């Protein structure tokens, strides 16, 4: 099942705002989008700007994006309240494709698209092991949701779950040869997952992050260094 990008923005009304902490929010909107886990949308606020954001859930006619307040656009999005409107266009990019057993790894705000993937697999009555990492317990998002799914947690300071990296949890697992590793998070984490996948000869799907301006593959701003791969078209999910 694929998705055809829309030509322009759709004005979407914010239905609910979920607060995960002082600087992270999930915006739930009613929007006519058909997207796959791993794809992203461009969110636009008039007079502020436009930035790409991962989809953290899409179900029953409601779409959710999760935003960490880091710059002008994300801070303005985090200030929205129910009834406010936001312009969305997309979906864009490649998606996660899980055929057999999988381990899903999320780090920091990269947990958001992993949630969409985990919930989608759950609705298909398929199971996957979820491993999540963040600097502290306060930076973990959707904790109750993931606890229900049996996820395992890691934090740099030991305030939730394993003290250390999320990849430490991966190394402790007995993995079959057909297990796919699906990961989204900071680049050091993704490099570690890639190295482990290669050492164990396992397939991996990594969701990469770059500066994206057009979302259509035209401007070249999000090309991976020396490869010509555009994160907004051939990515953000790339297979190893």
CA dist 41 and 88 (Å) reads 6
Residue 222, pLDDT above cutoff 80? no
Mean pLDDT, rounded, for 183-195? 95
Residue 180, pLDDT above cutoff 60? yes
CATH 1.10.3720.10 fits 10-92, yes or no: no
Listed residue (52, 73, 74, 75) closest to 5, CA to CA: 52
Q: Say if residues 196 and 171 touch (Cβ distance below 8 Å).
A: yes
The DSSP output letter for 108 is G
Task: Indicate the pTM of the whole model.
Answer: 0.90
pLDDT value, residue 2 = 36
CA dist 122 and 58 (Å) reads 13
Q: What is the DSSP string of 171-190?
A: HTS---TTPEEEEES-HHHH
pLDDT value, residue 214 = 73
Listed range (33-42, 105-114, 119-128, 220-229) with the worst mean pLDDT: 220-229
Say what percent of the chain tops pLDDT 70: 90
pLDDT value, residue 46 = 92
pLDDT value, residue 22 = 84
pLDDT one-digit tens code per residue, 114-151: 999 999 999 999 989 999 999 999 999 999 999 999 99
Q: Provide the residue ranges of all domains of the chain, joining segments of one domain with +.
A: 10-92, 102-207
Q: Is the peptide bond before 178 cis (omega within 30 degrees of 0)?
A: no
Mean pLDDT, rounded, for 36-44? 94
Which class would CATH give 102-207?
alpha beta
pLDDT one-digit tens code per residue, 76-115: 999 999 999 999 999 999 999 999 999 999 999 999 999 9
CA dist 19 and 3 (Å) reads 29
CA dist 159 and 190 (Å) reads 22
pLDDT value, residue 212 = 67
Name the average pLDDT for the chain: 90
What is the four-CA torsion angle of 175, 166, 123, 33, rounded to 10 degrees?
A: -130
What are 68's two structure tokens?
């960490």
């Amino acid at each position: 099942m694929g998705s055809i990008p829309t030509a322009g923005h759709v004005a979407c009304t914010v239905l609910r705002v979920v607060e995960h902490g002082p600087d992270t929010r999930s915006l739930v909107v009613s929007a006519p989008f058909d997207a796959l886990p791993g794809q992203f949308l461009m969110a636009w606020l008039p007079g502020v700007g436009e930035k790409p954001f991962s989809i953290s859930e899409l179900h029953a006619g409601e779409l959710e994006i999760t935003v960490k307040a880091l710059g002008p656009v994300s801070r303005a999005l985090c200030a929205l309240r129910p009834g406010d409107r936001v312009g969305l266009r997309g979906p864009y990019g490649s998606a996660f494709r899980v055929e057999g057993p999988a381990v899903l790894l999320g780090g920091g705000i990269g947990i958001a698209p992993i949630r969409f993937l985990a919930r989608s697999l759950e609705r298909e009555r398929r199971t996957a092991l979820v491993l999540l990492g963040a600097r502290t317990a306060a930076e973990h998002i959707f904790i109750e949701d993931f606890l229900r799914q049996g996820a395992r947690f890691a934090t740099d300071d030991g305030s939730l779950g394993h003290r250390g990296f999320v990849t430490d949890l991966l190394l402790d697992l007995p993995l079959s040869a057909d297990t796919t590793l699906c990961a989204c998070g900071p680049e050091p984490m993704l490099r570690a997952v890639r190295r482990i996948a290669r050492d164990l000869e396992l397939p991996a799907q990594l969701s990469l992050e770059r500066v994206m301006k057009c979302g259509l593959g035209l401007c070249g701003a999000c090309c991976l260094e020396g490869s010509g791969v555009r994160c907004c078209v051939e990515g953000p999910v790339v297979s190893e």
